Structure formats: C-alpha cells, structure tokens
Structure 1
C-alpha cells in the first residue's frame, strides 16, 4: 500500500492531536461548568432553606402556611417531626413530604445502584403511590435532587397526560423550630435548569466549533509543511538532475536559514564535493596509471619485436628490467586499488625493531650503507606485510636521494613508536612536503622513470600508515637531507 506524503501525514497527525486535546479539554470544561453551576444551585437551595428556617421562629405551628418563602415557584416544604406537611409552595402544594415521595438518586456505590436495600421497598412504593410527582431524592445526603414534570408553559404539573418534559431541583433540608417550639424540617429547592441549559449550550458550541477548528488546523499545518518542505523538493530535483547528467560539479540550493533543511543541503553539497574530488582523483589515477604502464609495455614490446627480427640484438638485461618495473608497478596499482576499496589491515602484532633488523640484513646490494641508530622495543597492531612495504618504500626513497648513507631508527615516544628513515641528500623543499605524498608525483630531481620510479611509493606508505591509525611526515634534519617519520600507536596488552 502506497504511503501518503509527508504533508498529508503531518496534517493528519496534527489534526488528530488537536482533536484529542480539544475533546479532553471539552470534557473537562463541561464537567467543571456542570459542577460549578450545581454548587451554585446547592448553595442557593441551602440559603433559601436557612432563610425560611430562620423566619419560623416568628410564627407558630398554625401560621406556617402563611410564612414568607413558601409563596415562590421553587419547591419548598415545612414538615414536622411526624412527617406532616405544615406548609408548602405551589409546586408541591397538596403533596406529602418531599422525602417520602422522592426516589434515591443513583450513585457509584453499591455496584452502581446508589441505594440501600431497605430503600428499594420505599422506591417501589413511591413509584406506585406517589403519583406522577416522581420526585427523585438522594436519601443518603443532606442535599437531594428532585425531578418535577413541567408542561409546555413551564409550570410544574402532576398530571401524567400533560407531562411534556421534566425539570430538576437541588433540594436542601434544614432543621428549625417554630415560635411555639415545634421541631420542623425545612425543604427548599433551587432549579438546575440554568445549569442544564448552560451545559447544553457549551456542548453544542463545542460540537459545532470542533470541526471548523480542526479544518483550520489541518489547513494551516498543510500550508506550513508545504512551505517547510519546499527546499527539500528543490534539493530532490537538483539531485535528480545531477544523477541524470552525472555532472558532479553542480550543487543543491542551500536555504538561507539555520534549520535542519539547511544543514541537510550543506551536508549534501559537502558529500557532492567529496564525491567529485574522489571521481577526479580516480580519473587522474587511471590516466596516470595508463601513462606509466604504456612506457614499460612499449619498451618491452619493442625489444621483443627487435629480438624476433634480429635475435643477436636482444638486450636481455634491459628486457628483464622492464619486466620487473612492469611487475612492480602492477603490484603498486593493485595495492592502491585495495586501499581505496577500504581494505582493513590484518589484525596482528608487529615488532618494528625486528622488522628493521630483517630489512637491513637483506639490503646488501644497496648503493649506500644503512646505519641503525636506535631500536627501542615495542609492538604495534596491523599487517606485517603492509608495514614491511612501508619500510621498504622509505628505504628505497632514501637510497635514491641519498649521497653517501642512510640511517634508520625506532624510538618509543609516549604511547607511540616512531620509525624514522633519513638520508643526506638535497632534502625536500618545505612547500613540496605534502605534495610528494600524492600519487604519480615526482620532483624535478626525480623525473627520470629509470631512477625516480613511478611516484607511488610514498603515496602507498602514507595510505598504509593512516589505515593503521598512524601518520607519515617528512622533515629536513639539521645536517641536510630528508627524514621521513612514521608514527604508530603502541599495541595494548
């Protein structure tokens, strides 16, 4: 299944997150509003009940019916200790005590029933005997919720045939005494209609406003994401064009910003630059290798053709020399190809002092004697064959440029071993000390291929040194000539 674009996923994700947040916030707001308005209604009911109870001290038992506070539209009753209604407001006029005809409100207790077992009989009796009043009361608390049916004019009614809807009242019960000392209970209710209306209005507003807000969020997210990803599309198009044209000199556009997209563009351009440099280096390498191989091959072919026509003119020594040069060059090219391919050196321990002794003992035919100055003990990790090749290349270079002698030394410097090879020749100019490590580079004094080689020895030596975690540098000693120093980290225990 094809996945949607980043813009679509971002817009959908942002819309979903905002929707979840708004729904959760909506539930919280509605619950808070409902609780706040319920608390207000409860407080109004309690204040009304206390006010009526306070005025009871000025009237006798028989005068309760004319008491102020029992003439409003909210349900109110005064009931004596025997359950007799002494006075009531119009909504509950002629009814029994509120507590008698009220049904207990359900709560979270008792597995959701919210009433005691002994209240069940009372509830059933109230349902059958209380008529259409159907008052509902939480008998376990001081405040009660009564539900009265109302007709189309908003008046409380008890005729089941005229019931259109119902209205809830929060009822509070307060104890008091009349002027003649009769203990009574005052019930007073406050309408919850305002609470219900406000909650309904807020809920409707949220239901209508939520889709509109989500559409706005989705649209804004889409536009912002499109604007943010526009540079990425530019980078993609340019990379596609570079791939099609194979022109590595081109670069992707870099946004004038400091964000992730700008860093991506800069990194892409750096990668293209490194790739271009690598390809150019590879092209030069192929061109130089072809040029270097052409000379010994052409010379060898000429000698063989002459020998075929005139066997007596064959210079066998020169033919062998050209063959050896060709073999050495081919071996160097193969080694460089393996190094360029990322070949890692073999894991082993190599003693540089022993390696130097072995090479010096074998180089008996060198034009200049090799003097060993110091051989500190120590081992490095790597390939014995590749490190031997580095030492051989350095000694060959020193023999080629030295006048009378070559010296070699191995010294321990901290956590490194430093192998140095020095000659007493003309030295290397300071401005050329990095260039001589490039491939196929020969200085003016070494332009002869017969004496100067192909210019790969030092390049191979530095590549091998770097792949062993070391360095290879050249310096000019105080007595003249050049000193090549190979530094490698000591092998741990």
Structure 2
C-alpha cells in the first residue's frame, strides 16, 4: 500500500498538479474534438461547393464530356446516373470507393435498375436539400487518400437525373488534428512541471509562518518559558489568526501556571503554620507531659483539616469536577443551613426568606456557598448579620450583609482571590486562610451564577449571589 507524502507541501503540490493535469487533459480533448468537428465541417462544405459547381453546369445543359471538372488531388469528382453508370469523372482519378460507383471512367455497365424518380429535381434544376455525405478513399495521380464525399442530385435539360460526387481531402484536417495533439502532448509535461514548481514555492512561502510558529512552540516546550510568544505574520489571514490564537493560549497557560504555582506556594505557607504549631506542642508535650494542651492540639488539627478540605475542593473545581446536579429549593436550603449553624454563632443572623426559588445545583456545594458567606459576615460584623432570599425576574438572589467596616471599592474584586486577607493585623485563628470567598465565587460560577460585593444600605458589606432559577418559587414558610 502506497504511503501518502508526509509533507503538506508535497501533498499540496501533488494535488494541484493532478488537478491541473486533469483540467488540461479535459480541455485538450475538448479542443481536439472541436477542431476535428470544425475541420470536418469545412471539408463537408468544400465537397458540397465542388459538387454544386459541377451540378450547376449540368443543370445549364453542359454535356458530360464538356464538363469543367476541378483539377488536383484534393477534389476528385464523379458523375453517376440513376442506373449506376459513370457519366463523367476527374481525369486523374484512378480508383474510388465510397461513392455511387467504383468505376472511374464513363460508359461502364450500369449497377442496377432505374430509380423511381419520385424525389428527383425538376428538369434543369439542382437538388436544393442538404447533400448526403460519406467518407471513402480515392487514388488520384497514384496518391491514395481519404476523402469526404458530397452527393448532389441534378436533372439535366434532357430530363436525365444524375448524382454528382465531389470529394474533399481529409489529410489536411487529420494532419492539423494530429499536430494539435502532438503539440499538447509535448507541452503538457513542461506545463505541469511549471505548475508543480510554482505550487511548491508558493506553498513553502505560505507555510513559512507555520514553520516559524512550530519552531517557536518547540523552543517554548523545551525551555518551559511560557513568557515567550510565537511570531504573528503581518498578513491578516488564517495563519495570522492561528498565531494570535496560539499566543492567547500561551498567555492563558502562563496565567494558569502562575496561578497554580502561587496556589501551591500559598498552600504550603498556610499548611506550614498549623503543622509547625502542632509539632511545637507535641515536642513540648514529649518533654513535659504535664504541659500538654489537648484543646489547643484539637483546634490546630481541626484548622488543618478544614484547610486541607478547602484545598482539596479548590483542586477539584480547578480540575473541572462537576457532580450531578438536581433541582434545589434555595429557600429551604438556606433555612437548613441557618438551623445547623445557630448554636455556634456568636452573632445572630436575621433572616428574611421571601421566596423559595428552585435552582439546578449540588446541594452540598450551595450550602457551602451560604456557609462561607455567613462565616465571612460573622467575622466582620459588629452586632448584626442579615440574610435574605428572593426571586427577581427569573433569578434566585441570596444576599448576606453585615454591619462591619465594609470592603473598599478598590478591593471588591481582590477579596475573591485565593489566600487574600485584607485585615493583616487580625489573628490567623479569626481570619482564616483567605479561601472562603474564593471557594464561594468559584462554586457560584460553576453553577452558572455570579457573586459580587457592594456596600450594604446601612453600612458594611453586602454579598449578593445570583443564580438562574428553573421554575417559579413557592412562598416561604
């Protein structure tokens, strides 16, 4: 089995050359057929003119012996009556085939009986219809060639109907066709070679930017330097679009890798603190068992457990983990979360569940969103946390507000970044690891919604979650 050329340039050159070859062969055949038809038509016309010239002489009463017959090898003439007898023939005619008689001299015996004469021309007239044509061979002056014969009927003034056969040499037409065929066959290979060469050069020039992109990508892959970019050609074509898209992909990949590296570095830093605290307490307990602080150890272990769970959840979100979704009654979910958290909250939550909109989501992850927002509000509130659930124009809306210091406008996007804590002075135990809001936004975005922060009407921060509702909400109970 033949293998395809590996090079795009080679395949393009072969394809273009093959297409041009087929087109040229088809065009050549069409030209040859048209030329043959045209030359054949000219031969027919030439034979008819010669036949009618002789027929006109006979119609005018010229005797057979006194006919002025054409001379030369290209127009032999034979006059045959209705009984097949040759009445006149060209002087130099030696042999003839394809006409009314194979005889070439007048006075030969007749071929058969008389015709009925129903369709004969009137006395002294030449047949006005289209002549009959036939192809035959004739020998004139020892030269044998193919001829195209035209047969024209004429009735002499003596009421004798004869048929004039005049031939036109086909050698010139066939030579012309042969010359055209040979010229095409001779010119086809050089022309295909030119097409192949031009296609090869043009394709190489067109693919040069692609090779530059490939080479640069290979360098980026080997060096691992994602800050590099592939060259973008000046032309506004598909290759320039490919290069621009490749650079956009590299930029996104660079950002993703930088984010992952920062995430790993921040995670390592956050994990180091509780681990170091646990190690210190265990070392002290090993040296002085009476100083063992079980409560502190338990708190550090729980904090470490929560941090590990948060990091695992973020890793799953980044990996595109999408658990099966189902319709969730958002109002009921919020009330359940409030009931679960009520005993441990130092600040009471004032809830206003006006509706119970249904959304498509993962109940556990939506509860995590509400819990993280409540944890953040409780951490910053002075005396009150307000929570509301409503449905607005087909959108489920959850709002969590506190009466704390609020979030400066310049930091309202930065607080959703991972490991960001605006209050650097507060303790890590109170401030957490800076992952709660990042997890909440990632989960909301994964559910097709949005999470934003703005200033609360009475001061403080207002976090607003918007999710697409899947059906009319029922009144809250």
With normalisation by structure 1, the TM-score equals: 0.86
1:400 to 357, 373, 379: 379
Q: Deviations over 1:360-385 (max 9, x none)?
A: 11222212111112331221112111
1:88 match: 89
In 2, distance between residues paired with 1:480 and 1:156? 124
Partner of 1:241: helix, strand, or coil? Answer: helix
Offset at residue 96 of structure 1 (A) = 8.9
Offset at residue 314 of structure 1 (A) = 2.5
1:488 to 443, 467, 474: 467
**Match runs of 1:257-336 below 5 Å:** 257-336=235-314
Offset at residue 180 of structure 1 (A) = 2.3
Q: Deviations over 1:424-459 (max 9, x none)?
A: 111111111110000000103665312111000010
1:384 to 357, 363, 367: 363
2:147 to 165, 169, 172: 169
Larger % of strand: which? 2
Distance 1:263 1:392, change over 3 A: same
In 1, distance between residues paired with 2:339 and 2:228? 55
Partner of 1:59: helix, strand, or coil? Answer: coil
Moved over 4 A (4+): 93-97
Distance 1:363 1:237, change over 3 A: same
Contact 1:170 1:190 in 2 (8 A): yes
2:18 match: 16
2:345 match: 366
Q: Deviations over 1:402-429 (max 9, x none)?
A: 1111111111122221111111111111
Q: Which runs of 5+ in 2 are unaligned?
A: 104-111, 113-130, 473-477
In 1, distance between residues paired with 2:357 and 2:276? 47
In 1, distance between residues paired with 2:212 and 2:281? 60
Contact 1:72 1:89 in 2 (8 A): no
Q: Which runs of 5+ in 1 are unaligned?
A: 103-121, 123-140, 158-165
**Does 2:456 correspond to 1:454?**
no
**Match runs of 1:147-296 below 5 Å:** 147-149=137-139, 155-157=141-143, 166-296=144-274
Distance 1:415 1:147, change over 3 A: farther
In 1, distance between residues paired with 2:375 and 2:182? 93
1:349 match: 327
Offset at residue 348 of structure 1 (A) = 1.6
Structure 1 window deviating more from structure 2 (83-92 vs 297-306): it is 83-92
In 1, distance between residues paired with 2:68 and 2:390? 114
Contact 1:72 1:90 in 2 (8 A): no
In 1, distance between residues paired with 2:146 and 2:98? 17
Distance 1:492 1:258, change over 3 A: farther
1:101 match: 102
In 2, distance between residues paired with 1:97 and 1:274? 86
Offset at residue 317 of structure 1 (A) = 2.2
Offset at residue 58 of structure 1 (A) = 2.8
Structure 1 window deviating more from structure 2 (27-36 vs 348-357): it is 348-357
Structure 1 window deviating more from structure 2 (360-369 vs 444-453): it is 444-453
Partner of 1:144: helix, strand, or coil? Answer: strand
Q: Deviations over 1:180-215 (max 9, x none)?
A: 222111111111122111101100100000000000
